Amino acid sequence: METVGSALDNWKDIWSSKSAGYSIASDGSMTDLLRLDGFDSGMGYISPENWFEYVRQTCETIGLATDDEFLEVGCGAGAFMHALSPCPRIQVGVDYSANQIKMAKEFKSEQMMFFEKDANDIHTLEKKFDVVLVNSVIQYFPSMDYFLEFFGKVVAVLRDGGRGCVLDINDIEKKDEYTRRRYIEHGGKKKYLENYKGLKHAFYSREQILEILERLGVGSVRIEDQFIRNCRVSEFRFNVFFEK
């Protein structure tokens, strides 16, 4: 993983400002939820139709079932949870942004519960889950230590036989081309660095994640290229699935 200094607070502010002041009169449609969760523009844009396809494929890969107890870490306003199919009987979402959690609660369905919590505090839920899902979150992590601690926490809150998946991970092998495209997207390197001052994305290697999971005693690990139709960031990302 690349070191990312002490960017945690900055990213937290960004996520909080995204949902702050968002009209509560909004209808909580998937378009709204995707906007709140940051999938509404540029290389990261995902249409509701393609989002539903992505979540459906993920649910199939995990083998999601209606009697599962499901946790999403870094759930944002709940775009992923609202697209789950089949719908697990219990869905818990945590996010460190109070504003994101406020929006998630506004639009929540009956089986959903949301808590304001840092990713590394999930043990304080004092509950185990059949499935733990993390989508498009670990690129905002502040350090290698934080990232290592996080994987330990995810494995710890899984029941034996439970399934974990960490999705949309920035691939360090593709960092140069990804960065080049982002510069172009933002009108050049200078403009990009001005816009993203103090905000860095973390990149990871597949080998590193395999090693961590092996050290944590997780045997069954699968790593796949990310695929989200018509999403330009997708080719720079990968997904990890494992079973405890």
Ligand X SMILES: C[S@@+](CC[C@H](N)C(=O)[O-])C[C@H]1O[C@@H](n2cnc3c(N)ncnc32)[C@H](O)[C@@H]1O
Residues that bind ligand X (CB under 6 A): 15, 37-38, 74-76, 79-80, 95-97, 100, 118-119, 135-137, 140
Q: State phi, psi for 133 to the nearest 5 degrees.
A: -120, 140
Cβ-based nearer residue to ligand X, 145 or 207:
145
Pick the closer one to ligand X by CB: 165 or 218: 165
Shorter beta-carbon distance to ligand X: residue 16 or 205: 16
- Smaller CB distance to ligand X: residue 136 or 234? 136
Q: Which long-range contacts (CB under 8 A, 24 or more apart) does 140-143 make?
A: 140/7, 140/8, 140/11, 140/15, 140/74, 140/201, 140/202, 141/1, 141/4, 141/8, 141/202, 142/4, 142/5, 142/6, 142/7, 142/8, 143/3, 143/4
For residues 95 and 171, which CB has a smaller minimum distance to ligand X in the complex? Answer: 95
Residue nearest ligand X (C-beta atom)? 76
Nearest-approach distance from CB 27 to ligand X, in angstroms = 17
Q: How far is the CB of 40 from ligand X (least distance, A)?
A: 10
Q: Residue 96 CB, nearest distance to ligand X (Å)?
A: 4
Buried b (16+ CB within 10 A) or exposed e, 81-109: bbbbeebbeebbbbbbbebbbbbbbebbe
Element holding 243 (H helix, E strand): strand 237-243
Minimum Å gap between C-beta 190 and ligand X is 25
Min dist CB 81 to ligand X, Å, is 8
